[in-house]
Amino acid sequence: MALKRFIIEGKVQGVGCRVGIETYCKQAELTGFVRNLNSGRVECQVDVKEDEIQSFVEFLSSGPSYSRVDRLMEVAPKETEIYNDFRILADGNDED
C-alpha cells in the first residue's frame, strides 16, 4: 500500500466532488479522507495499492460527476496515520 495525497483544483466545491470521491474509494475499498480547503480546492489522502494508483489518478483527473478538474497535484502526505475507512472530513485550511 502507498499513502498518496492530492490537491484538486477547478470546479470542485459545491458539485458533489467529495461525495463522488468517497463513493469511488468505498467501492474500491480504499481508506483515507477527502475535504474541502478554504482556498476552493479539495484535498484527498488515500492509502492505495500500487497497482491501483493509476486508475485512481485517472478517476481524480476526470473528476466525479459535475466537477471540473483543472489541475491535479500529487503532494507529500501530511501524516502517516493508518485509516480504517474512507471519510469526508470537515473543511480545512490549506496550511493544515
Burial of 4 (0-12, 13-18, 19+ CB in 10 A): buried
In the set 5, 35, 36, 71, the catalytic residue is 36
Tell me whether residue 38 is one of the annotated catalytic residues.
Answer: no
The model's pLDDT over 39-90, given as tens digits with 9 standing for 90+, comes to 999 999 999 999 999 999 999 999 877 899 999 999 999 876 778 999 999 8
Tell me whether residue 18 is one of the annotated catalytic residues.
Answer: yes
Does this model's pTM top 0.85? My answer is yes
Task: Flag whether pLDDT at 96 surpasses 70.
Answer: no
In the set 18, 35, 41, 68, the catalytic residue is 18
> What would the grid cell of residue 4 be?
498518496
Instruction: Assess if CATH 3.30.70.100 describes domain 2-88.
Output: yes
Per-domain boundaries in the chain:
2-88
Calculate mean pLDDT across residues 20-42. Answer: 96
